[in-house]
Amino acid sequence: MGHPKALLDLGGETALAILVSTFRKVGIADIVAVIPPDEAIAAEAERRGARVVRNPLAHLGRTGSLQFGWRETDVAHDIVFISVDCPLVGAGVVARILAAGPGHDIVRPTHGGRGGHPVFLASRLRSEVLALAPDSSLRTVIHRDPARRLDLPVDSAEVLANLNTPDDYEAARARRASAGD
């Protein structure tokens, strides 16, 4: 993208600010932003009230960042994680995932039969997630035993939307602008 995804402007707010706000709306108080060693991203996360965890190995991938962040949090807690390139997921989706979480190891939203974000992981999966190679896919854990996963159908295609290309970014800006109408 040529610019940190966390700092992409989506109609006056950064992707990171939108995500922090969404998680606050559903009552999540301890928001951990696992970031690369980038002072501008750290400043934005701190300004939004997120706890900053700098991952010097962020280049290894999302699983490594998830692992790094989970090591920095209380072992006894379940987590809900999302990549910063999925900023338009609504609070209603996050609330449904949180409500469905207790009693399940994994809860992920689905749209059109495809798994999306954010994903709920029960604390009992912590050691299993931490045992993965940092550059591996979390899908290994998510698909290991389908009986422990709840796929939660949602009406929002935003659970599948990523900011991976300039076209994705422009489409997200347009969706955000039209949502404000």
Q: How many residues does the chain have?
A: 181
Number of domains in the chain: 1
> For 8-20, how does the pLDDT look when each residue is reduced to its tens digit (9 = 90+)?
999 999 999 999 9
**Measured between alpha carbons, how far is residue 134 from residues 16, 87, 121 in Å?**
22, 23, 17
Question: What is the helix (H) or strand (E) element at residue 104, kind and residue range?
Answer: none
What pLDDT does 177 receive? 87
| DSSP summary character for residue 129 | H
Burial class (CB in 10 A: 0-12, 13-18, 19+), 86: buried
pLDDT above 90 covers what percent of the chain? 81
Q: Answer whether residue 116 shows pLDDT above 70.
A: yes
Does the pLDDT of residue 54 top 70, yes or no? yes
- Please say whether the beta carbons of 111 and 160 come within 8 A: yes
Is the pLDDT score of 1 beyond 80?
Answer: no
Asked if 118 and 62 count as a contact pair (C-beta separation under 8 A), the reply is no
Q: What confidence score (pLDDT) does residue 180 get?
A: 64
Here the CATH number for the domain that contains residue 163 is: 3.90.550.10
Determine the structural domain holding residue 121 and report its residue range: 5-179
Judge contact between 35 and 28, C-beta under 8 A. no
In this structure, are residues 25 and 48 in contact, taking their beta carbons and an 8 Å threshold? no
Give pLDDT tens digits for 136-145.
999 999 999 9
Burial 16-39 (b: 16+ CB within 10 A, else e): bbbbbebbeebeeeebbbbbeeee
